[in-house]
């Protein structure tokens, strides 16, 4: 076959990228893609052309164990690369933060929660687990290469980009909850994280930080990894957390049922 004919190359490349080219023809094109610049260009052309289709697929969270397995497999082969300087994460413009605040207000109004304007104060002694706040900066991130946390879930404020990432420490002893953004004051209250246990009442885990990158660390509760579903929720609570030990305010978000570790 004459692979110097652009029309033929384009046709084969298009079906290769689409996935319908199979068998010996596909294998031949794979080999030619390495050695034949025209074939490589045609494949890239079709990859770019069809790429938007790939971005329309719904996101689905992969099984939790896949992450640890993949990292273990990947890090068996350390690539020979120079460490890159990791720049500090840029602070976002205030207008972006204000826009997110508006999103938060909209969500709060939907669920009928009216809060008095004021500063969100954190703290209080109603949590079951000791909580501490710290700033996680990029330098720490770079140093954490050998201590990778295990991602569990993300909870967030509806209609805004504000969210918190929940991770398990490599030794499975603590949970870290990192704020993804700044949550500006909308009232006197707090956002509290809950673990929704099977057949039992929700367990309060932490009052969450409201500054970007602020991290709350709590000890892993008993039974956390004993086959329980890892389902989390966040609720709006009075300053200091729920006075009852159970969610008393509006539930803002709840994660999907996940596999236990």
Partner 1 sequence: MGRHSSEDLDRVRKLLDQVAHGSKAAFAALYDETSPYVYGALLRLLRNPQWATEALQDCYIRVWQHADGYAAERGDPYGWLIGIARYRALDLLRAQTDRAGRLAENASDLRDAAVVPKNPETETLTLIDLEHLQRCLAHLPAAQRECLLLGYYEGHSNQELADRLHLPLGTVKAWIRRGLVRLRSCMEEP
Say what the alpha-carbon torsion angle 96, 98, 102, 107 is, to the nearest 10 degrees: 80
| C-alpha–C-alpha distance, residues 208 and 164, integer Å | 8
The tokens 């790429």 sit on which residue? 51
Task: Indicate whether 55 belongs to the interface with partner 1 (CB under 8 A).
Answer: yes
By beta-carbon proximity to partner 1, the closer residue of 110 and 141 is 141
The b/e string for 76-96 (b: 16+ C-beta within 10 A; e otherwise) is: eeeeeeeeeeeeeeeeeeeee
The conformation of residue 208, written as its DSSP 8-state character, comes to: P
Say what the alpha-carbon torsion angle 101, 104, 106, 110 is, to the nearest 10 degrees: -160
| C-alpha–C-alpha distance, residues 43 and 50, integer Å | 11
- In the complex, least distance from residue 47 CB atom to partner 1, rounded to whole angstroms: 6
Q: Applying CB under 8 A, which of residues 5, 6, 8, 66 lies at the interface with partner 1?
A: 66
Part of the chain binding partner 1 (CB under 8 A), chosen from 76-84, 187-195, 205-213, 221-229: 76-84
| C-alpha–C-alpha distance, residues 41 and 12, integer Å | 12
Q: Applying CB under 8 A, which of residues 3, 11, 250, 251 lies at the interface with partner 1?
A: 11
224, 108, 227: which is closest to 173 by C-alpha? Answer: 224
The crossing angle, in degrees rounded to 10, of helices 23-35 and 37-54 is 110
Scan residues 150-189 and list those touching partner 1 (CB under 8 A). 151, 165
Part of the chain binding partner 1 (CB under 8 A), chosen from 108-116, 126-134, 146-154, 184-192: 146-154
Task: Indicate whether 47 belongs to the interface with partner 1 (CB under 8 A).
Answer: yes
The radius of gyration of the chain from alpha carbons, rounded to an integer in Å, stands at 24
Binding mask 183-222 for partner 1 (x = CB under 8 A): ----------------------------------------
Task: Indicate whether 10 belongs to the interface with partner 1 (CB under 8 A).
Answer: yes
Part of the chain binding partner 1 (CB under 8 A), chosen from 32-40, 185-193, 198-206, 213-221: 32-40
Task: Indicate whether 259 belongs to the interface with partner 1 (CB under 8 A).
Answer: no
Task: Indicate whether 81 belongs to the interface with partner 1 (CB under 8 A).
Answer: yes
The residues that touch partner 1, with contacts defined as CB under 8 A, are 10-11, 14-15, 18-20, 22, 26-27, 30-31, 33-34, 37, 40-41, 43-45, 47-63, 66-67, 69-71, 73-75, 77-79, 81-84, 86, 141-142, 144-146, 148-149, 151, 165
């Amino acid at each position: 076959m004459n692979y110097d004919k652009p029309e033929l190359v384009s046709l084969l490349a298009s079906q290769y990228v689409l996935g319908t080219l199979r068998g010996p023809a596909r294998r031949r094109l794979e080999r030619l893609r390495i050695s034949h610049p025209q074939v490589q260009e045609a494949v890239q052309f079709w990859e770019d052309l069809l790429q938007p289709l790939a971005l329309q697929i719904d996101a689905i969270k992969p099984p939790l164990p896949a992450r640890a397995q993949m990292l273990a497999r990947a890090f068996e082969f350390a690539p020979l690369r120079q460490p890159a300087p990791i720049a500090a994460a840029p602070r976002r413009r205030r207008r972006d933060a204000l826009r997110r605040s508006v999103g938060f207000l909209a969500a709060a109004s939907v669920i009928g929660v009216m809060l008095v304007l004021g500063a969100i104060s954190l703290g209080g002694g109603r949590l079951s687990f000791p909580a501490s706040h710290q700033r996680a900066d990029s330098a720490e991130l770079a140093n954490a290469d050998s201590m990778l946390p295990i991602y569990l879930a993300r909870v967030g404020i509806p209609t805004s980009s504000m969210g918190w990432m929940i991770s398990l420490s490599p030794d499975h002893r603590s949970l870290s909850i990192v704020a993804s953004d700044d949550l500006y004051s909308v009232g006197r209250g707090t956002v509290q994280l809950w673990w929704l246990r099977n057949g039992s009442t929700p367990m309060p885990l932490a009052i969450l930080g409201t500054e970007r990158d602020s991290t709350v660390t709590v000890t892993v509760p008993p039974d956390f990894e004993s086959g329980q579903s890892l389902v989390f929720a966040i609720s709006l609570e009075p300053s200091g957390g729920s006075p009852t030990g159970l969610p008393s305010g509006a539930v803002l978000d709840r994660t999907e049922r996940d596999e236990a570790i």
